[in-house]
């Protein structure tokens, strides 16, 4: 099948699936906060799980509405701070130019995914001390791990919103959340990309979008229209250094929102962000194997950039555009003596979420374009565009039903990523995905 | 591409400028207000605005039925419709101790739109106009003497019949009260630290003079002097250590009830 024919088949399948799911009967089910506060998912989410202004303020306030019903004593007796999230889905993935014994091949395969479960446990222990614990897994491999676990102390100093502390394992406050995005078949390239040497390794491999262990200071104004976060963490993939933190890392984020009471733009936001993760590059060894926790000679992997968000139309049903740009640099020493110089790149993404102004706001349409452009390859001899990447994603979500106790939605998505020169024999490699799923939380 | 990104920065700034230059306040849009209502309000107040949303049956304090146009918190006299600013006051401050949160995080446009939509539930808004707000004389100031006098006013107007001798909402009639819709209603516990309709002395004074429409809390506008009302407001503030220090703050100073 030609590429055009394949795309046509995918689109036909997508249209068929959309038609099928639009006409299924509504279902119902208890996300912890919705049940606790008797609010529907839409109160906090522009389109679940993307937060809107009210949801962002609720999160910044430590999941408290401060109505005298937040903590476990004053909340209604029936409240139990647990919700379950599952996503049964069909996914087809095709990757081009893969090396095989039979030569360079394109391999495509699909099936119903081995779905896992997120147990979302969150709430308020006592006024101004809240928590989140998320065990995830329970798939066929039987593994379960803690995706998140943290405690959040609100208004630590002089009852001010400008000083709150989070401690544990959590997602750092990125310009767009990797855990709260709509796309399911790809990730933000800007967060995960690291320059590389062909066939070699980069010690720094952390994905900023993965949850990190550390301490975060959060400050915001009354309505979360101005925010900052400062985070000290240990990058999640470090082998460990002989320091107080295995991989001492720092992150900062500054945001300011602007609102307009009339006109086509209802809200805009600008922000700056930056991260420095320091990795040990030399280790004591035992039988030639590095001894974990013995690392020294820290070298940095640096990311920084800016962001701009615009909400067009009413905030209740907006076209939300999010533009994020970043520059990255990984020190030469991180490439284990194989590099000539530091690897640097520029990258970013433009994301759009549209909530059509339809009755009960059942629909959302989303898309994203990601791009990575290498600036300096660690090896001078490497082609300058080696592993340059382009990725686009298109999708839609139809919320079949939602209430104060559940949400069930149909999710359809296609995505494609092209990476220069990383396929067999230095060919470009393309990864295409298509996914149809039923996303439900109760 | 990054050259293009740099080129987009002035475009983005121009969009912000253009949008910011068109910030003249307008009236709410009912169509958009319906969407705001569906996103935030429907689960409690119901699609018909009758206070019978899916969450209502689990609530001890029932959500307001908008169809009668009767609102607890108003600046207007008893029997009058509220002003838009009264409805926005409730949106901004919430009602402490109930499930009505502060919607301060919503933008002004959304608040304006949802107020316009909520008013469509009652035909009264199409045929009546709200009366002028009541006049609240200046607060003479919180003092121990005023609190002592206020305790006498509390007794004189038999407030303890519902709110109890200590203001804990446990008076002899407390368990017999019903609202205009026949739902059991409990007198507010004034010792909780926050008064449902506002902690500021003017908020409390206003309740005596306007009453809480739809509830057994009457207006005392015809029988209570302003001096007595101020003393009573100070007495109620004294029932919780938190009130006195909140007394001189303005509503705009507070994020939410409990923020102080």
Domain boundaries, given as residue ranges, for chain B: 30-127, 144-253
Distance from the Cα of A126 to chain B's closest Cα (Å) equals: 14
B105-136 confidence digits (pLDDT tens): 999 999 999 999 999 999 999 999 999 999 99
Query: Is A404 in Cβ contact with B54 (below 8 Å)?
Result: yes
Distance from the Cα of A283 to chain B's closest Cα (Å) equals: 39
And the tokens for A402? 């939602």
* Per-residue pLDDT, A7: 56
Domain total of chain A: 1
What dihedral do alpha carbons B37, B38, B44, B50 form, nearest 10°?
70
Query: Which of A260, A310, A319 to mutate to test binding with chain B, by most B CBs within 10 Å of its CB?
Result: A260
Sign of CA dihedral A313, A316, A321, A322: positive
**CB contact, 8 Å: A230 with chain B?**
no
| Chain B residue whose CA is closest to A371 | B1
Query: Is A404 in Cβ contact with B43 (below 8 Å)?
Result: yes
CATH of region B30-127: 1.10.760.10
Q: Please choose, from the candidates A435, A437, A434, the residue with its C-alpha nearest in 3D space to the C-alpha of residue A409.
A: A437
* Per-residue pLDDT, B233: 94
Question: Helix or strand or coil: residue B18?
Answer: helix
Spatial distance between the Cα atoms of A90 and A365, rounded to a whole number of angstroms: 19
Query: Is B108 in Cβ contact with A261 (below 8 Å)?
Result: yes
And the tokens for A3? 């590429």
Q: What is the DSSP letter of B243?
A: H
Burial B127-137 (b: 16+ CB within 10 A, else e): eeebbebbebe
And the tokens for A362? 């059942």
Instruction: For the beta carbon of residue B257, count every other beta carbon within 10 angstroms.
Output: 26
Per DSSP, what are the bridge partners of residue A416?
A392, A432
362-391 of A, contacting B, C-beta below 8 A: 371, 373
> Which chain B residues are Cβ-neighbours of A161 within 8 angstroms?
255
- Greater confidence (B251 vs A375) lies with A375
Query: Is B40 in Cβ contact with A42 (below 8 Å)?
Result: yes
A234 neighbors A247 (Cβ within 8 angstroms): yes
Query: Is A268 in Cβ contact with B40 (below 8 Å)?
Result: no
Would you say the CATH fold of B144-253 matches that of B30-127? Answer: yes
Sign of CA dihedral A107, A111, A114, A116: positive
Q: What is the DSSP letter of B158?
A: T
Query: Is B257 in Cβ contact with A67 (below 8 Å)?
Result: yes
Spatial distance between the Cα atoms of A367 and A397, rounded to a whole number of angstroms: 11
CATH of region B144-253: 1.10.760.10
Spatial distance between the Cα atoms of B16 and A426, rounded to a whole number of angstroms: 45
B40-75 confidence digits (pLDDT tens): 999 999 999 999 999 998 888 899 999 999 999 999
A100-145 confidence digits (pLDDT tens): 999 999 999 999 999 889 999 999 999 999 999 999 999 999 899 9
Residue A85 has φ and ψ, to the nearest 5°, of -125, 130
* Per-residue pLDDT, B227: 97
CA B222 to chain centre: 23
- pTM value is 0.88
Find the CB nearest A262 among B23, B40, B259. Answer: B23
232-271 of A, contacting B, C-beta below 8 A: 258-268
* Per-residue pLDDT, A155: 97
A10-53 confidence digits (pLDDT tens): 555 555 444 444 433 333 333 688 888 889 999 999 998 999 99
Query: Is A359 in Cβ contact with B32 (below 8 Å)?
Result: no
Query: Is A65 in Cβ contact with B256 (below 8 Å)?
Result: yes
| Chain A residue whose CA is closest to B18 | A263
Find the CB nearest B39 among A56, A325, A361. Answer: A361
**CB contact, 8 Å: A316 with chain B?**
yes
Distance from the Cα of A228 to chain B's closest Cα (Å) equals: 17
58-87 of A, contacting B, C-beta below 8 A: 58, 65-69, 76, 78
Query: Is A316 in Cβ contact with B113 (below 8 Å)?
Result: yes
Query: Is B23 in Cβ contact with A263 (below 8 Å)?
Result: yes
Instruction: For the beta carbon of residue A108, count every other beta carbon within 10 angstroms.
Output: 12
Write the DSSP string, B165-212.
Answer: TTSSS--TTGGG-B-TTS-B-----TTSSS-TT-SSHHHHHHHHHH--
**CB contact, 8 Å: A356 with chain B?**
no
For chains A and B, what is the number of CB pairs under 8 angstroms? Answer: 157
Residue B112 has φ and ψ, to the nearest 5°, of -60, -45
* 3 state SS for chain A: CCHHHHHHHHHHHHHHHHHHHHCCCCCCCCCHHHHHHCCCHHHHEEECCEECHHHHHHHHCCCCCCCCCCCCCCCCCCCCCEEEEECCEEEEEEEEEEEECCEEEEEEEEEECCCCEEEEEEEEEECCEEEEEEEEECCCCCCEEEEEEEEEECCCCCCCCCCEEEEEEECCCCCCCCCCCCCCCCCCHHHHCCCCCCCCCCCCCCCCCCCEEEEEEEEECCCCCEEEEEEEEECCCCCCECCCCCCEEEEEEEEEEEECCCCCEEEEEEEEEEEEEEEEEECCEECCEECCCCEEEEEEEEEEEEEEEEEECCCCCCEEEEEEEEEEEECHHHHCCCCCCCEEEEEEEEEEEECCCCHHHCEEEEEEEEEEEEEECCCCCCCCCCCCEEEEEEEEEEEEEECCCCEEEEEEEEEEEEECCCCHHHCCEEEEEEEEEEEEEC
Spatial distance between the Cα atoms of A110 and A92, rounded to a whole number of angstroms: 4
CA B235 to chain centre: 21
And the tokens for A316? 């209740």
CATH number at residue A313: 2.40.160.10
Find the CB nearest A325 among B5, B98, B109. Answer: B5
Query: Which of A40, A311, A318 to mutate to test binding with chain B, by most B CBs within 10 Å of its CB?
Result: A40
Instruction: For the beta carbon of residue A79, count every other beta carbon within 10 angstroms.
Output: 16
User: What proportion of chain B, given as a percentage, has pLDDT over 70?
Assistant: 82
Query: Is B26 in Cβ contact with A260 (below 8 Å)?
Result: no
Query: Is A222 in Cβ contact with B32 (below 8 Å)?
Result: no
User: What proportion of chain A, given as a percentage, has pLDDT over 90?
Assistant: 79
Least-confidence region, from A13-17, A370-374, B90-94, B213-217:
A13-17
> Which chain B residues are Cβ-neighbours of A264 within 8 angstroms?
19
* Per-residue pLDDT, B16: 47
Distance from the Cα of A69 to chain B's closest Cα (Å) equals: 7
Length of chain A: 442
Query: Is B105 in Cβ contact with A54 (below 8 Å)?
Result: yes
B213 neighbors B72 (Cβ within 8 angstroms): yes
Query: Which of B35, B94, B96 to mutate to test binding with chain A, by most A CBs within 10 Å of its CB?
Result: B35
> Which chain A residues are Cβ-neighbours of B255 within 8 angstroms?
66, 161, 222-223
Query: Is B15 in Cβ contact with A68 (below 8 Å)?
Result: no
**CB contact, 8 Å: A418 with chain B?**
no
Which residues of chain A register pLDDT less than 70?
Answer: 1-31
- Greater confidence (B199 vs A214) lies with A214
Q: Which domain holds residue A426?
A: 3-441
**CB contact, 8 Å: A144 with chain B?**
no
B142-163 confidence digits (pLDDT tens): 999 999 999 999 999 999 999 9
* Per-residue pLDDT, A352: 98
Q: Are strands A117-126 and A103-112 parallel, antiparallel or unpaired?
A: unpaired
Measure Cα distances from B241 to B192, B238, B244 in Å.
Answer: 10, 6, 6
């Amino acid at each position: 099948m030609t590429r055009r024919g394949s795309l046509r088949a995918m689109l036909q399948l997508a249209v068929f699936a959309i038609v099928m799911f639009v006409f299924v009967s509504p279902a119902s089910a208890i996300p912890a906060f919705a049940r606790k506060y008797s609010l529907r998912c839409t109160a906090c989410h522009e389109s679940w799980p993307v937060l809107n202004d009210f949801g962002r303020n609720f999160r910044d306030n430590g999941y408290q509405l401060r109505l005298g019903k937040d903590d476990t004593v004053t909340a209604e007796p029936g409240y139990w701070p647990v919700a379950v999230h599952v996503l049964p889905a069909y996914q087809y993935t095709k990757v081009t130019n893969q090396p095989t014994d039979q030569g360079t091949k394109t391999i495509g395969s699909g099936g119903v995914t081995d779905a896992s479960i997120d147990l979302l446990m969150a709430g308020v222990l006592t006024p101004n001390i809240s928590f989140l614990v998320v065990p995830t897994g329970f798939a066929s491999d039987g593994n379960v791990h803690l995706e998140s676990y943290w405690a959040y102390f609100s208004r630590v100093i002089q009852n001010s919103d400008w000083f709150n502390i989070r401690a544990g394992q959590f997602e750092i406050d990125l310009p767009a959340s990797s855990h709260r995005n709509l796309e399911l078949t790809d990730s933000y390239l800007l967060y995960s990309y690291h320059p590389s040497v062909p066939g070699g390794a980069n010690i720094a491999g952390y994905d900023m979008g993965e949850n990190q262990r550390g301490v975060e200071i959060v400050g915001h104004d009354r309505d979360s229209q101005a925010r900052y976060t400062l985070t000290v963490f240990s990058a999640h993939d470090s082998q460990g250094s002989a320091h107080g933190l295995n991989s001492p890392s720092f992150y900062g984020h500054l945001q300011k929102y602007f609102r307009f009471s009339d006109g086509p733009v209802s809200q805009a936001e600008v922000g700056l962000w930056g991260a420095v993760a320091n990795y040990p590059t030399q280790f004591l060894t035992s039988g030639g194997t590095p001894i974990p926790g013995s690392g020294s000679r820290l070298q940095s992997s640096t990311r920084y950039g800016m962001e701009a968000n615009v909400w067009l139309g009413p905030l209740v049903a907006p076209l939300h555009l999010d533009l994020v740009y970043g520059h990255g640099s990984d020190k030469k020493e991180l490439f284990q003596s194989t590099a000539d110089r530091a690897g640097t790149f520029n990258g970013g993404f433009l994301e759009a979420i549209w909530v059509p102004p339809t009755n009960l706001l059942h629909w959302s349409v989303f898309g994203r374009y990601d791009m990575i452009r290498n600036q300096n390859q660690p090896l001078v001899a490497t082609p300058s565009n080696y592993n340059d990447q382009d990725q686009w994603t298109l999708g839609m979500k139809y919320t079949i039903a939602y209430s104060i106790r559940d949400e069930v939605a149909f999710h359809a998505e296609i995505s494609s990523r092209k990476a220069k020169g990383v396929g067999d024999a230095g060919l470009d490699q393309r990864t295409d995905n298509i996914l149809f799923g039923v996303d439900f939380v109760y | 591409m990054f050259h293009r990104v740099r080129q987009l920065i002035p475009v983005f700034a121009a969009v912000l400028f253009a949008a910011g230059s068109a910030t003249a306040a307008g009236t709410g849009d009912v169509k958009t207000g319906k969407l705001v209502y569906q996103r935030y309000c429907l689960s409690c107040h119901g699609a018909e605005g009758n206070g019978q949303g899916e969450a209502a049956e689990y609530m001890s304090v029932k959500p307001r039925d908008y169809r009668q146009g009767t609102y607890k918190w108003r600046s207007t006299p008893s029997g009058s419709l509220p002003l838009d600013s009264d409805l926005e006051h409730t949106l901004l401050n919430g009602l402490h101790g109930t499930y009505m949160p502060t919607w301060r995080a919503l933008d002004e446009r959304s608040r304006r739109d949802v107020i316009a939509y909520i008013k469509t539930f009652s035909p009264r808004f199409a045929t009546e106009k709200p009366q002028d707000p009541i006049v609240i004389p200046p607060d003479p100031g919180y003092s121990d003497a005023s609190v002592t006098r206020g305790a006498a006013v509390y007794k004189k107007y038999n407030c303890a019949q519902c709110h109890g001798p200590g203001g804990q909402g446990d008076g002899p009639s407390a368990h017999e009260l019903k609202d205009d819709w026949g739902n059991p209603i409990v007198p507010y516990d004034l010792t909780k630290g926050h008064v449902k309709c506002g902690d500021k002395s003017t908020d409390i004074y206003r309740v005596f003079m306007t009453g809480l429409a739809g509830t057994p809390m009457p207006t005392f506008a015809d029988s209570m002097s302003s001096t007595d009302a101020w003393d009573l407001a100070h007495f109620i503030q004294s029932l919780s250590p938190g009130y006195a220090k909140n007394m001189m703050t303005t509503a705009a100073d507070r994020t939410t009830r409990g923020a102080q």
